[in-house]
Amino acid sequence: MHCTIDDLAKLGLRIATVVEAEAVSGSEKLLKLHIDLGDEQRQVVSGIAKSYTPQELLGKQVVFVSNLEPRTILGVESNGMLLCADDEAGPVLLSPLALVKPGAAIR
For residue 30, being part of any structural domain is answered with: yes
pLDDT tens digits along 1-27: 888 988 888 899 999 999 999 999 999
Burial of 51 from C-beta contacts in 10 A (0-12 / 13-18 / 19+): middle
Asked if the structure places residue 107 within a domain, the reply is: no
The predicted model scores a pTM of 0.92
Q: Where are the beta strands (DSSP E) in the chain?
A: 13-23, 31-36, 41-46, 61-65, 71-73, 76-78, 81-82, 84-87, 90-93
**By residue range, what is the domain housing residue 48?**
5-93
In a domain, 101, yes or no: no
Q: How many domains does the chain have?
A: 1
- Residue at 76 is within a domain: yes
pLDDT tens for residues 43-97?
999 999 999 999 999 999 999 999 999 999 999 999 999 999 999 989 999 999 9
* Residue 103 within any structural domain of the chain: no
Q: Is residue 99 part of a domain?
A: no
Residue 84: inside a domain, yes or no?
yes
CATH of the domain at 46: 2.40.50.140
The distance of Cα 90 from the centroid of its chain, to the nearest Å, equals 15
* 87 within domain boundaries: yes
